[in-house]
Amino acid sequence: MRTPAEHGSGPLSQIAGAVFRYTVLGLCLVVTCAPTLVVIVLLGQGSSTVPFQVLALLPVAPALSAGLWAVRGWQQDADASAFLLFVRGCRRNVGDVLRWWVPTLAVGGVLGANVALADVVPGAELVRGLSIVVAVLLPLWSGQMLIVTTFFAFRTRDAARIAAAELFSSWRVTLAHVSLLVVAVGVVRLGTEALLLFCAWAFVALLEVSSRPTVRDVRVRFTVRA
């Protein structure tokens, strides 16, 4: 599939190419994350469903990683196929991403249960405060981890340490991730989960832009140039 950018270098061609690429990216994200939306809708609201809603997020991180890979790819080559870049990102990164995303979701499910069921489970109130703190830090660390495992090929444990270091050293990027999380929660609260899914392409684009300092820092500090 070839993009409209190949047929000219003028402003209109560039705009058409960008619209085409982001449309393809949006459709890819909708298809890959649709199972998450279906499961969350079918589960409904309720404290007992929180762990299952967290586990339903399994396809999200690999999809975001593939989207980031696609955005970075067509910035380097505007004529590259957006769909093929997304598929290539999935194949390249899905294993690395799932190696940390699955245990992260498991921990998130436990934390969600601790917070949601603290009023009805004896003793749960004692760990509620700690669970809230960890539940706040976990998605921020996950954001840095997503960037590291998308654009670099470290071992999982090394990537985890680097992401933890970047959480504080690249604090501006962390704040940008916080802003994106706040906006995402606002979209869900004021709209629906489906609206957030259809806006996922914009979040991926903003995430790629905001995370460039982390990519540069990791490349300088933790990689060796040939």
Which pLDDT belongs to residue 122?
Answer: 58
Which pLDDT belongs to residue 126?
Answer: 67
Which pLDDT belongs to residue 2?
Answer: 46
pTM of the model: 0.88
Q: How many CB atoms lie within 10 A of CB 73?
A: 19
d(CA 123, CA 126): 6
CB 101 within 8 A of CB 62: yes
The domain tally of the chain equals: 1
d(CA 194, CA 30): 9
CB 93 within 8 A of CB 62: yes
Which pLDDT belongs to residue 139?
Answer: 92
Residue of 129, 143, 23, 8 whose CA lies nearest to 78: 8
On average, the pLDDT of the chain sits at 87
pLDDT averaged per 10 residues, the chain (length 226): 51 83 95 93 78 89 96 85 93 95 91 70 66 86 96 94 93 93 92 91 95 94 76
CB 43 within 8 A of CB 116: no
- Quote the domain boundaries for residue 157: 4-222
The rounded percent of the chain whose pLDDT value lies above 90 is 62
**Based on C-alpha coordinates, what's the Rg of the chain?**
19
pLDDT tens, 48-107? 787 788 889 999 999 999 999 999 998 888 778 889 999 999 999 999 999 999 999 999
